[in-house]
Amino acid sequence: MRRFPWIFASALALWGLNWLASPTVPNLGAQLFGGGAITHVANNTALLSAPASAARVFRDGGNSPGDGGAALYTWFAATCTLNGGAGDGGSQVPALGGGCWIADFAGRTLSPMVFLAGGAGSTDDTVPVQAAINACGALGIPLKFDAIHLYKITTSVNIAAPCAIDGPYRYGVWPFNQASGTGTQSCPWGIVTRNTGIDMIVASAVTGSIHNLCIDATGDATVNPTSGYAIRLQPPSIVTYSSGWDIQNNSILDPYVGIGLPGNGGGAGCCGAGTSADGDVISHNTILSPTQAALEFGKNSAASTGGPGTVGITVEDNDVICKTATSKASAYGIVIYEGSIWHSGTANGPEGCNIGFAAIPGTANSVGQVVQISSDGVFGDQSGTNDLLIKPAAGGSIVTSSIGGIQPWANNTSASYTSVLIDCTLASYCSDITISQMFIHGGNGQNVPVMDIEGGANGPFNVTLNGIDICQQGTPGGSGVGLKLNAGNGSTGRWIIETSKIGTACNSGTALPVGIQLLIGTTSSSNGSITLVGNDLSAVTTPVSYTPNTTVLDRVVAGLNQGIDDRLPSIASATNIAYPGLYPVISVTGTTAVTTIGGGYSNQRLIINAVSGFTWNSGGGTGALCGASNLTLAAGVDYQFRYKGFGLGACWSHVQ
Q: Specify whether the CB–CB gap between 631 and 625 falls below 8 A.
A: yes
For 292, how many CA atoms within 13 A lie in the half-sphere containing its CB? 18
Each residue's pLDDT tens digit, 392-409: 999 999 998 999 988 899
Which whole number is the average pLDDT over 578-600? 83
Which one of 58-67, 397-406, 603-612 scores highest in mean pLDDT?
A: 58-67
**Going by C-beta distance under 8 Å and a sequence separation of 6 or more, which residues neighbour residue 26?**
none
Query: How confident is the model over 315-322, as a mean pLDDT?
Result: 93
Average confidence score pLDDT of the chain: 85
Residue 301 and residue 307: Cα distance in Å, rounded?
11
If one compares 540 and 309, the residue with the highest pLDDT of the two is 540
Question: Rounded to two decimals, what is the model's pTM?
Answer: 0.88
Pairing of strands 143-144, 120-124: unpaired
Please determine, for residue 71, whether its predicted confidence score (pLDDT) is greater than 70.
yes
Position 180 scores a pLDDT of 60
d(CA 535, CA 564): 9
Least Cα distance to 333 among 292, 367, 361, 365 occurs for 292
Q: 31 pLDDT exceeds 90?
A: no
Residue 275: per-residue pLDDT: 79
- Angle at which helix 4-15 crosses helix 126-139, to 10 degrees, equals 120
Q: How confident is the model over 619-642, as a mean pLDDT?
A: 84
pLDDT at 173: 62
Residue 340 has pLDDT above 90, yes or no: no
pLDDT at position 551 over 70: no
**Percentage of the chain exceeding pLDDT 70:** 88
pLDDT at 72: 95
Q: Are strands 605-610 and 637-644 parallel, antiparallel or unpaired?
A: antiparallel
- Name the nearest CA neighbour of 383 among 444, 448, 330, 437: 330
What confidence score (pLDDT) does residue 557 get? Answer: 82
Query: CA torsion angle for 501, 503, 506, 509 (degrees, to 10)?
Result: -160
> With 0-12 CB in 10 A as exposed, 13-18 as middle and 19+ as buried, what is 314?
middle
Confidence of residue 174 (pLDDT cuts 50, 70, 90): low
Taking residues 281-307, report their average pLDDT.
88
By CB neighbour count within 10 A (0-12 exposed, 13-18 middle, 19+ buried), where does 334 fall?
Answer: buried
Average pLDDT estimate for 108-118: 93
Query: Which amino acid, residue 452?
Result: D
For the stretch 477-489, pLDDT in tens is: 888 899 999 987 7
Asked whether residue 23 carries a pLDDT value surpassing 60, the answer given is no
